[in-house]
Structure 1
């Protein structure tokens, strides 16, 4: 096992059991091979942890164990995977929800590895060539259990940190798509073989349920950055009078039509608009369109021909635009998946948006990741989801 020295200014971080190894934290990172198991030490020779090398964003790898005597082999990976499965036994048994996160990276003890379950099928996301080096060991665990329909994979580690286009099928039985999964009794059509994203973001499960159960009945709901319309489906099933879904991607329309259809909702009674969200805000304002509920769930970063959106800089403007379209005592469901800041800073952004419009508000409830998205308490960035349900006063 290669011995690697951690620079003194980063030793405390690892001693506090933060599992991410930054590239600048170690000597000679360029000499490490993807997937190599390394022993981390201080310059004085004190053992800190065992890790694997895998370039991911600004990271150089992930600590797998802080115990010197623990062996990193196939049985180590098997223990981690079986432990994760056991923790989610109630999800496997749930009839109303058949899609969930089975393994959540560092939250389950192996950073860079994500595994989702979709009604008998597993989708493994590899976030570096380093973790991909352990593919055979990980697949072996599933083969020993022999309890799956098929396995798909998403390689998310090309030189630009993007998704690697490839045949996503690994083994088992190829799925027939769309595959229908349930989420709190709602139906969603997913495609495990169609690029980096399958058609639904599982981390918003609790928020969609809240929208359906508490905020949609009798309301006009605007769903911005709507992707495949999952929030719109939840709103319609919750008794919304009408939903409006807005997304810049052309394929969002057909995908949203499909999601309404598999739930028995007449999509022709809903508005599905392919347009830049900020352009739609201007259009709706000109037309004096008003909504009772506005859902804001933008990507952390998005670029169109006209503008670049960055959550950290532009979220207050989103809040301002939403306030312009809200009915009296309307509700904004504000969400971000940006990992670089916490809920306090997100609330500050929300506050700035309301301050600019000189409006008062109440935060009715907050959400973070659902229970199947295990989080490492020593790695705060892993708890990335922040959602606030806000009611405008008057």
Structure 2
């Protein structure tokens, strides 16, 4: 079954150290004529077994090694065992009565790169990041039914080459959900829709950050939430006793979605400010109106393009921070977040230093956050630890 491929010594060392991403330099796919989802057996230059995985093109590579054990076959039993181990690892969060939305399976951190599974109450969402892993959909769904037995399963196919999302109906099997569906996170309520495009309405990897904002940073504060999406940070701040929240996002639908999140938590929306506007235009507006804030949350996409502007974290985050510093009160806090895997924490901190220096201001980093425990990662693949969040006190 599959194709046997010889790889160079550098590739052998990388796999044996536990980095299971198959890089583009490992072999020439056209030479071996491999297809998406094809099983690959890797050998060193002496013909010795190194690992077994699948071919699947993502933006970061050409597939993933799944095992270094020559006896292990990639079949439904393999996927069932991997899901069962991940299920057992999440015992604490599964039994948390105040949280019903979390990551059950986190790609290479749980042994299968290109695949994530999230729990939303009694439902699961399976995300496939390449056509290669999607080829194993049947085995994965059957394994999930055995291990978790959710009421219903939805899928997300995140492998379109033109940047567009594939699929109008993401329902897979079981009972269809009624949306919006309410889930809990540390006692907070969030409305989600599992069948409305690539995103569900909440980013589960920010759970610890939202709790920190609610519990320690929001009380009696004027809060600005930039790139606010559905306003989850704003809701956390309001639940923490914020004086007022302002949520800013360019997407027209953000207003209705944010209002919905406030309402399900019992807050009258007229008390909160929800603004549909380009964040960079809002900075100018705030300065013109002499607006300033005690707490500013910045969580932009790693890359975004509007009609007049392209934004990337690597090139533009420093400038974004400078704009935020200008409307943050002395003694106030900026929550700076990025999910850009190509920007490590040390580089992210340099952005902070450069931005404050440019604004002739000083600062203290009071808190640092990465991924929560359910977003399991491996030290051998550092890019998997993509989330960096800093709580920065402006002097």
TM bucket, shorter chain = over 0.9
Tell me how far 1:48 sits from its aligned partner: 1.7
Shift of 1:14: 2.1
2:296 to 290, 294, 297: 294
Q: Which residue pairs with 2:20 in the alignment? A: 19
Question: How far does residue 146 in structure 1 lie from its aligned partner after superposition?
Answer: 6.6
8 Å Cα contact 1:247-1:275 kept in structure 2:
yes
**Which residue of 174, 177, 180 corresponds with 1:175?**
177
Computed over aligned residues only, the root mean square deviation of the Cα atoms, in angstroms, reads 1.3
SS of equivalent to 1:366: strand
Cα deviation for residue 9 of structure 1 reads 4.1
Q: How far off is 1:232 after superposition? A: 0.3
Q: Does 1:268 align with 2:270?
A: yes
One of 159, 162, 174 as aligned partner of 1:160? 162
Confirm or deny: 8 A CA contact 2:87 2:147 kept in the other structure.
no
State the 1:313 CA deviation. 0.8
Per-residue deviation at 1:360? 0.9
Quote the Cα distance in structure 2 between the aligned partners of 1:303 and 1:72.
40
SS at match of 2:233: helix
Partner of residue 7, structure 1: 8
Structure 2: distance between partners of 1:53 and 1:128: 9
Distance 1:270 1:153 in 2: 34
Cα distance in 2 for partners of 1:125, 1:200 equals 15
Structure 1 length-normalised TM: 0.97
Give the structure 2 partner of residue 196 of structure 1: 198
Q: Is the 8 A contact 2:152 2:177 kept in 1?
A: yes
Distance 1:189 1:6, change over 3 A: same
Report the alpha carbon displacement of residue 143 of structure 1 after superposing the two structures with TM: 2.9
Matched, 1:187 2:189: yes
Quote the Cα distance in structure 1 between the aligned partners of 2:218 and 2:279.
21
CA deviation string 1:167-198 (max 9, x = no partner): 10001110010000001100000000100000
The CA distance in 1 between the partners of 2:74 and 2:20, in whole Å, is 15
* Pair 1:143–1:15, CA change in 2 (3 A): closer
In the alignment, is the contact (CA less than 8 A) between 2:36 and 2:57 conserved in 1? Answer: yes
Maintained 8 Å contact 1:17/1:66: no
CA shift for structure 1 position 162: 4.4
CA distance in 1, matches of 2:184, 2:239: 13
**Runs (5+) with no aligned partner, structure 1:** none
What SS is found at the alignment partner of 1:174?
coil
Which residue pairs with 1:206 in the alignment?
A: 208
Which of 79, 84, 99 is matched with 1:97 structurally?
A: 99
- The 3-state SS of whatever aligns with 2:99 is coil
The structure 1 residue matched to 2:225, chosen from 217, 223, 228, is 223
Give 1:270 shift: 0.7
Q: Quote the Cα distance in structure 2 between the aligned partners of 1:341 and 1:276.
A: 24
Distance in 1 (CA, whole Å) between partners of 2:276 and 2:148 is: 43
Q: Aligned-pair distance for 1:118? A: 0.2
Any residues of structure 2 matched to 1:1-394 within 5 Å, and which?
A: 1=1, 2-29=3-30, 31-145=33-147, 147-160=149-162, 162-393=164-395
Deviates more, 1:210-219 or 1:88-97: 88-97
Q: How far apart in 1 are the matches of 2:25 and 2:223? A: 46
Q: Distance in 1 between matches of 2:45 and 2:341?
A: 31
Match of 1:43, SS?
Answer: coil
- Contact 1:99/1:182 (<8 A) preserved: yes
Q: 2:13 and 2:375 mapped to 1: Cα distance?
A: 27
Cα offset, 1:23, TM superposition: 1.9
The TM-score, its normalising length taken from structure 2, stands at 0.97
**Per the alignment, do residues 161 and 22 of structure 1 end up closer, same or farther by CA in structure 2, a change over 3 Å counting?**
farther
**In structure 1, distance between residues paired with 2:67 and 2:81:** 13
Q: Report the secondary structure of 2:144's partner residue.
A: helix
**3-state DSSP class of the match of 2:22?**
strand
Superposition deviation, residue 11 in structure 1: 3.2
Aligned equivalents of 1:161, 1:63: Cα separation in 2: 26
For structure 2, the 5+ residue unaligned runs are none
> Is the 1:99–1:181 contact (alpha carbons within 8 Å) kept by the matching residues of 2?
yes
Q: Distance in 1 between matches of 2:86 and 2:14?
A: 25
Shift of 1:166: 2.9
Q: Quick check: 352-361 or 227-236, which moved more?
A: 352-361
